[in-house]
């Protein structure tokens, strides 16, 4: 199963799919074939592995898969049926697929006389597919909120200037995080004030191979001359200020994860609404003072209402410090 996870990790991290790996074992435990899902529209991991075997080569074998084999006709046929037709005798998978339109592969296999074992390394599968599972289960994408600030919590100087608080290493890390999410979201205020491109770029300014879908939320019009209108993925605009509804509206676009980089207004609203699943805070060793706070009102009126965080990691990026945190699950 851990080998199947390694294979799954070779698939694209972003896109409208789950990363899945599969290993086909002979009755004596010998590896017959391996496969993984390479993205939407490509063969699923089980079929990818079966394609490496001759006709009848999987008869009596065991398939080890990181996610329950699918049971529906989409861009590809149901993997559960492919496994039955290949003569697989036993299927071991980590977790059930939470998607109602896909779930049921395990039952289909059992009905066909295939031995099915589920739950192997389930905790590791939950962690590996965390963002995708969250999106399917809640109906809204995983949200990462990012901001950069001085040590005294300012995102801009008194005159409004904000470039650059952090150094080159931190800024490049941000671009890598953009590429690691399906979409990047800002408010119309950020577009009008900064005219950002919202692309993911390399340290030489080149576009990275994977680009997030740019999303702008708010009622003000995005100018025709705005740089973001030239984004290689196009532009999605969502009117209004209901952030939960805005996030849910991205599902038809195949968005399972969103990188929020929209300034204090959007960042604060996401956190106050309980929509932030992870925070990336880049701290620079400078002091700015003044009114340019990185966050605004979070709805915290007293210390008893403070929002607790669990710090997952701290990383030095040149002179700067990255703090990765999540809303605390522990009891105050």
Q: Please, what sign has the CA dihedral across residues 27, 29, 31, 33?
A: positive
Torsion angle defined by CA atoms of residues 260, 266, 268 and 274, in that order, rounded to the nearest 10 degrees: -70
Distances (CA, A) of 77 to 47, 81, 112, 241: 9, 8, 17, 40
| Extended strands (E) in 220-308 | 236-238, 257-260, 278-284
Q: How many residues comprise the chain?
A: 332
Is residue 46 annotated as a catalytic residue, yes or no? yes
Residues 6+ apart with CB under 8 A from 236: 183, 213, 214, 215, 216, 250, 253
The residue from 46, 68, 261, 278 that is catalytic is 46
Question: What is residue 309's three-state secondary structure?
Answer: strand
What does the alpha-carbon distance between residue 105 and residue 326 come to, in Å, rounded to a whole number? 34
| Extended strands (E) in 37-177 | 62-67, 90-95, 115-118, 142-150
Q: Which residues have a catalytic role annotated? A: 46
């Amino acid at each position: 199963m851990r080998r199947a996870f390694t294979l799954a990790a070779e698939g694209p991290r972003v896109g409208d799919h789950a990363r899945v790996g599969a290993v086909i074992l002979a009755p004596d435990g010998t590896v017959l074939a391996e496969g993984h899902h390479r993205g939407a529209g490509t063969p699923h991991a089980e079929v990818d592995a079966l394609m490496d075997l001759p006709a009848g080569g999987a008869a009596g074998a065991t398939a080890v898969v990181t996610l329950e084999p699918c049971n529906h006709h989409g861009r590809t046929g149901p993997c559960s049926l492919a496994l039955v037709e290949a003569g697989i005798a036993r299927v071991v998978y980590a977790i059930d697929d939470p998607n109602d339109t896909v779930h049921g592969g395990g039952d289909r296999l059992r009905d066909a006389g295939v031995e099915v074992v589920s739950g192997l390394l389930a905790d590791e599968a939950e962690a590996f597919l965390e963002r995708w599972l969250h999106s399917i289960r809640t109906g809204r994408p995983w949200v990462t909120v990012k901001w950069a600030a001085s040590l005294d919590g300012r995102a801009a100087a008194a005159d409004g200037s904000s470039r650059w608080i952090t150094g080159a290493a931190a800024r490049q890390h941000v671009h890598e995080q953009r590429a690691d999410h399906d979409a990047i979201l800002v408010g119309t205020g950020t577009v009008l004030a900064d005219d950002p491109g919202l692309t993911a770029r390399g340290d030489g300014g080149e576009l990275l191979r994977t680009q997030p879908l740019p999303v702008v939320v708010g009622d003000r019009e995005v100018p025709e001359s705005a740089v973001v209108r030239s984004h290689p993925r196009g532009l999605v605009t969502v009117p209004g200020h209901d952030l939960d509804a805005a996030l849910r509206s991205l599902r038809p676009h195949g968005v399972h994860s969103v990188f929020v980089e929209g300034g204090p207004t959007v960042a604060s609203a996401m956190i106050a609404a309980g929509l932030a699943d992870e925070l990336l805070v880049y701290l620079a060793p400078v002091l700015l003072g003044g009114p340019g706070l990185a966050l605004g009102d979070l709805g915290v009126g007293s210390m008893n209402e403070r929002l607790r965080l669990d710090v997952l990691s701290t990383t030095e990026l040149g002179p700067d410090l990255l703090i990765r945190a999540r809303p605390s699950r522990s009891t105050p």
